[in-house]
Structure formats: C-alpha cells, structure tokens
Amino acid sequence: MRLTRKQLEADVAFLLLRARAAGSMSLRNNRWTGLSSNALVEFAYGGVQSAMPSDRGDYAACVRTYVRLPAHRKTAAVRAALRKAREAYLANYPDERFPVDRQAKRAEREADRAAWLKRRKRA
C-alpha cells in the first residue's frame, strides 16, 4: 500500500495521540485504550489482532479507537476485526446483544441494588 503524504501525516497524528492516551491508566466511560483496542490498532497497521475485549467497556474502547482511526485505515478488514471483537465480548455477555436486553439487565441490577440498600437500612 503506497500512502500519500496526507495519509502518512494522519497516521503520525493518530499514533501520537494514541501514545499520549495510552501512557496513563483510565477507567472512565470515554476510555479508548487497552489491550483489545491496542490489538485493533495493531491489526489496522498490518499486524495481528492478538487480544479481544472481555466486556462492554473493552469493546467500547475498540469502537472509540476505530472512530479515531485515520480514514484510510478504516478498511473492510478492520471493520471485520471490530465485528470479531464484538462477537468475542458478546460470547461473555450474550444477554447484552440487543439494547432492550441491556436495558432489562440494567433495570434488574438497579432493582437488586435498591432492595439491598433497603435491607441494609433496616439492619
């Protein structure tokens, strides 16, 4: 693949941004670094996808990474790698496949927490 100067500059800008972000630990909701998202970057740049997301937060970091990739790196193969990452995460959390299922699970967790807090207050 022969890259234009503009594509090379986009690669350098992305990789510098990624290096700065990856240099610190973050578990915030907008995180875009981690093992599985690093593996997606590695794949986009010609390497192998050596890690998969283990949960929704890891997968979300992969999606955020994909969004930030330079346009010429968002190939069909990279999109397929992102789908593979999604399937790996969903293998661990099959009840999160559809938004309605995630909402039901969240409501169930919130109800359980409310019941636990109520029991705790009585004790």
CA 24, CA 83: separation in Å to the nearest integer? 27
Place of tokens 């990474």: 65
pLDDT in tens, the chain (123 residues): 799 999 999 999 999 999 998 876 666 678 899 999 999 999 999 999 999 999 999 999 999 999 999 999 999 999 999 999 999 999 999 988 888 877 888 888 888 888 898 888 886
Is 47 strand, coil or helix?
A: coil
Q: What amino acid is encoded at 82 in this protein?
A: L
pLDDT for 68 equals 97
Residue 78 · residue 48 · CB < 8 Å: no
- Model-level pTM? 0.79
